[in-house]
Structure 1
Amino acid sequence: MKIIGISLLMMGCLMGFSLGIDILQGFDISQALYNAISPFRVMEIAELFVLFFLVFLFFTESVYLFIKQRKGNEGQK
């Protein structure tokens, strides 16, 4: 779960940094948000499938490791 938390924290910080730079450049908030998600708007279906598949594998592995670690700790009690 630490890996997921760190990844989400890093994503949030980087998106906030990107939005902050766009706002400092004079864009309004809606245009800054559009700029943040525009790379995903030009992706083809196959690229989106690969992206979501890799994200799914990342979360699945993290949850599996969390459950495995939790069951290992229960056996030691």
Structure 2
Amino acid sequence: MKLFMVTILLAGGLLMMIISMDMIMGVKFPEIIWKAVNPFRVMESAEYLILFLLFFLFLSRRMWLFLKKRDNSNSSSN
């Protein structure tokens, strides 16, 4: 429960920081809310590439760990 509350507190603080920085830059309030709610809408193509690469690394690592665990369980049963 403590971990959940810390996560919510950090996310809320970062969201408030983003909103306040946009207000200081003079962005209109509806645009601030739109950017805060839908962050993928304002991403550049390079950011999409980095997001895809990180997602691919995450999935490949999970697959590698799964195969390694499966091979270890098969070799120990033989």
Q: TM-score, normalised by structure 1?
A: 0.51
Identity %: 43
Structure 1 portions without partners, runs of 5+: 1-33
**Counterpart mapping for 1:1-77 below 5 A:** 38-77=38-77
Considering Cα pairs closer than 8 Å and 6+ residues apart, tell me whether 1 or 2 has the greater RCO: 1
**3-state DSSP of counterpart to 2:61:** helix
Q: Which amino acid aligns with 1:73?
A: S
Measure, in 1, the Cα distance between the counterparts of 2:43 and 2:74. Answer: 44
Structure 1 outlier segments of 4+, above 2 Å? 34-37
Structure 2 portions without partners, runs of 5+: 1-33
Measure, in 2, the Cα distance between the counterparts of 1:44 and 1:55. Answer: 17
Taking only aligned residues, the RMSD between alpha carbons, in angstroms, comes to: 1.9
Aligned residues: 44
Which structure is larger by alpha-carbon Rg, 1 or 2?
2
Following TM superposition, by how much is the alpha carbon of 1:66 offset from its aligned partner in structure 2, in angstroms?
Answer: 0.5
